[in-house]
Amino acid sequence: MNRAGCEPVIWYGLSQLSKMGLIVKKPGILSTVQDLGRYGYRRFGINPTGVMDQAATRLLNILVGNADNDPVLEMHFPAPEIVFDSDCVLALGGADFSASIDGIPVENWRSYFAHAGSTLRFDKKMLGNRCYLAVNGGLKVDEWLGSASTNLTAARGGIEGRRLEQGDVIGTAPLPSSNIFAGRRVSHSLIPLYRPFPTVRIVPGAEFDMLDSPDLDLLENQDFLVSNNSNRMGFRLAGPAITPIRRQEMISSAVNFGTIQLLPDGQLIVLMAGHQTTGGYPRIAHVISRDLPLIAQLGAGDKVAFFLVDRSHAEKLLLEFEHELNLLRISAGYRTRPAR
Amino acid sequence: MNDESYRIFPLGDAALTVDFGNAISVALNDRAIALAEHLTTHPFPGFIECVPAYSSVSIFYDVAIASKGLPKEATVFGSVSNLVKKALISAGNTSTTSSRHLEIPMRFDRESAMDLEFVAAEKNMSASDVIDIFTASEYRVFMLGFLPGFSYMGELDERLSIQRKDIPRTRVPAGSIAIAGRQAGIYSLASPGGWQIIGRTDLDLFDPEKDEPCRLRAGDLVRFIAVK
């Protein structure tokens, strides 16, 4: 176990508190502040946005002593270069971009203490496409309609409703003197099994019965390539054309994160965190909640295969993960009860 | 209300949709809005939000909270479905809040009404005929979607029914008023879009600083007033 960068907490006193934040030296290609999403406004056409990989975000937030929903930084590669303006406790996870602080490697899923003035860099894309930075106390940014998530369409939330730019300062909370969140890690059993060619489990959608058995065979037994035309709104998949037995003119209704729509050309699109609220294409299936993080870490050129499960199994897997998070939260709370 | 009048299906493993029929009709839309209002004012344990559309309501819920707070069924989907079936009876067929009547000023200058001439030519009429027909009707806001505050309105006079553009524009200016099929809509924000643009309003349809950022709501009745 490499313990580099993991040091005892040192308290510097109040003079350090005046200017606190993460200074963005290089913004990276697409870095935004997100939380778990903005809810209650879908009926106005305002989509939840939020992080692509909720499992990573929640695990990292719990690890550094935050609430699950505290704002984190979602980074794509090339990732930003960030200077910590004050001491902080942080953790990285999701994609592995080969991070280092002042040249010392930083592992994913571990919490570290970073001194004021140290620099976080990412050298190489090793696995996955979205890396998360959680900081003890959460990122202090603009909320819009009850959420810190950046909505690029509405240009609200996060840092002025936009992606990071050079010179931005992202506010952080003062580090409590009793902070003992550094030097901990998430147990391996909780970390999603990210890989560039995952099999993700799906449940049937409303128009699932449009598919005949050859279509179903394609859906379940073929690989689908994540095309270049993929982003936070949705992943367009390239694969064998699915030609349903009947066509159906559909009027628009709500769609969801993980909804798999069948386009008129027989190709599939998987709706992701930034999806529009409504859609009019057949919803043949949905990625189950538990496996959304696996697909959320894919990028152009990666592949995915689908495996049908039933609804009760999908619910069971979701509840199982919630239970595991609860246990993690309880153990975190026990070990970190502040001394009085 | 008989059981065949709607269908409930899962929208993934943490949401479901109540579908009243695959049609654009005021009666079905009324039922959708009434159910959405009822659920929003009487939230169940685990309820996150709901989205009324043309003839459906999608209900998003927290599976963990609903599994603890609702009577047990084989699945949480089953528990929420049961609750929704009861809510359908309480909600009735029409919304309790009466429709608002709104007027939207609309310009038809050449720069704003980018497709007005095209629509007129396609329909063998003059641009002023298109304007007269378009402004003669009152439109119901069936739903909001696609963009923050984008309103799907209907029903457009059959004489103006026209298909979308073959190649969508990469940027439609905010306030653009457009038609497609038997629908009308307003681009509340600048965005890519494929509808035929026949005019523009200077009214802000989307103001992020307001508690309710979108000017229009599902169920509103809208008239377009031609201005110079």
pLDDT class for A19, splitting at 50, 70, 90?
Answer: low
Per-residue model confidence (pLDDT) at position A12: 42
pLDDT above 90 covers a percentage of chain A that reads 81
With a cut of 70, say whether residue A8 has pLDDT above it: no
Greater confidence (A182 vs B75) lies with: B75
Per-residue model confidence (pLDDT) at position A13: 42
**A110 closest CA partner among A131, A135, A93:** A93
Q: Is A203 on the interface with B (CB under 8 A)?
A: yes
pLDDT in tens, chain B (228 residues): 445 689 999 999 999 999 999 888 999 999 999 999 999 999 999 999 999 999 999 999 999 999 999 999 999 999 999 999 999 999 888 777 778 999 999 999 999 999 999 999 999 999 999 999 999 999 999 999 999 999 999 999 999 999 988 888 999 999 999 999 999 999 999 999 999 999 999 999 999 999 889 999 999 999 999 997
Q: Is B19 on the interface with A (CB under 8 A)?
A: yes
The size of the A-B interface in CB pairs under 8 A is 150
CB pair distance less than 8 Å for B147 and A144 = no
Give how far the C-alpha of residue A83 lies from the chain's centroid of Cα atoms, to the nearest Å.
22
B182-185 contacts, C-beta under 8 A, 24 or more apart: B182/B24, B182/B154, B182/B155, B182/B156, B182/B158, B183/B24, B183/B152, B183/B153, B183/B154, B183/B155, B183/B156, B184/B134, B184/B139, B184/B153, B184/B154, B184/B156, B185/B150, B185/B151, B185/B152, B185/B153
Alpha helices in chain B (DSSP H): 26-41, 63-69, 76-91, 116-122, 127-136
Q: Which residues of B touch A259 (CB under 8 A)?
A: 11-12
Per-residue model confidence (pLDDT) at position A335: 52
pLDDT above 70 covers a percentage of chain A that reads 91
DSSP codes joined into one string, A61-72: HHHTT--TTS-E
With a cut of 70, say whether residue A10 has pLDDT above it: no
With a cut of 50, say whether residue A175 has pLDDT above it: yes
Q: Which of B19, B145, B147 minimises the CB distance to A153?
A: B147
Give the mean pLDDT of A68-76: 97
Give the mean pLDDT of A229-238: 95
Q: Is A275 on the interface with B (CB under 8 A)?
A: no
Q: Is A300 on the interface with B (CB under 8 A)?
A: no
Q: Which of A45, A248, A254 minimises the CB distance to B149?
A: A45
- pLDDT per position as a tens digit, A324-339: 999 988 887 655 444 4
Per-residue model confidence (pLDDT) at position A51: 98
Q: Which of B51, B54, B76 minimises the CB distance to A251?
A: B54
Q: Which of A249, A256, A318 minimises the CB distance to B63?
A: A318
Per-residue model confidence (pLDDT) at position A4: 41
CB pair distance less than 8 Å for A144 and B208 = yes
Per-residue model confidence (pLDDT) at position A20: 81
Q: Which residues of B touch A276 (CB under 8 A)?
A: 145-147
Would you state the structure tokens that stand for residue A159, as one six-digit string?
């840092």
Per-residue model confidence (pLDDT) at position B4: 60
Per-residue model confidence (pLDDT) at position B93: 80
Q: Is A311 on the interface with B (CB under 8 A)?
A: yes
> What ipTM describes this predicted complex?
0.92
Q: Tell the residue number behind the tokens 């010179």, with chain if given.
A: A167
Per-residue model confidence (pLDDT) at position B180: 93
Q: Is B135 on the interface with A (CB under 8 A)?
A: no
Per-residue model confidence (pLDDT) at position B228: 79
List, in sequence order, every residue forming a beta bridge with A308; answer none if it has no partner: A202
Q: Are B17 and A253 in contact (CB under 8 A)?
A: yes
Q: Are A262 and A274 in contact (CB under 8 A)?
A: no
Q: Which residues of A touch B58 (CB under 8 A)?
A: 253-254, 256
Q: Is A271 on the interface with B (CB under 8 A)?
A: no
- pLDDT per position as a tens digit, A269-300: 999 999 999 998 999 999 999 999 999 999 99
Q: Which of A205, A287, A322 minimises the CB distance to B64?
A: A322
Per-residue model confidence (pLDDT) at position A244: 79
CB pair distance less than 8 Å for A203 and B10 = yes
Would you state the structure tokens that stand for residue A34, as one six-digit string?
């997100």
**A329 closest CA partner among A49, A39, A69:** A69
CB pair distance less than 8 Å for B50 and A203 = no
CB pair distance less than 8 Å for B149 and A44 = yes
Per-residue model confidence (pLDDT) at position A16: 42
CB pair distance less than 8 Å for B218 and A43 = yes
- pLDDT per position as a tens digit, A86-142: 999 999 999 999 999 999 999 999 999 999 999 999 999 999 999 999 999 999 998
Out of A13-17, A150-154, B118-122, least confident range: A13-17
Per-residue model confidence (pLDDT) at position A14: 42
Q: Which of A251, A256, A278 minimises the CB distance to B12?
A: A256
Q: Is B51 on the interface with A (CB under 8 A)?
A: yes
CB pair distance less than 8 Å for B54 and A252 = yes
Q: Which residues of A touch B166 (CB under 8 A)?
A: none
